[in-house]
Amino acid sequence: MQITYFNDTDTVYLKLSDKTPVETKALDNNFYIDVDDKGDIVSLTIEHAKEKANINDFSFKQIVDSTTAA
């Protein structure tokens, strides 16, 4: 996954896959998803990210599967 923030447009782009998108679907005026030819989500775009997605308080946490941890 790759997350890019464009400060000049206050836009977040989350790339979830290297597959080629064939269609963009608007969920509303600020959230868009790109899907591949099978309908799987390839990426997500969030417009006005500071207001709509609270990007000022972004954090990332990875949870380790306790059944595979050494």
Q: What is the mean pLDDT of residues 19-48?
A: 96
User: Are 55 and 5 in contact, with CB atoms under 8 Å apart?
Assistant: yes
Residue 68 scores a pLDDT above 70: no
Lowest mean pLDDT among 6-20, 38-52, 53-67: 53-67
Q: Please, what is the average pLDDT of the chain?
A: 88
Tell me how crowded residue 64 is: count the other CB atoms within 10 A of its CB.
8
User: Are 41 and 51 in contact, with CB atoms under 8 Å apart?
Assistant: no
Task: Write the DSSP string, 29-69.
Answer: SSEEEEE-TTS-EEEEEESSHHHHS-GGG--------TTT-
User: What is the pTM for the complete model shown?
Assistant: 0.78
Pair of tokens at residue 40: 């799987």
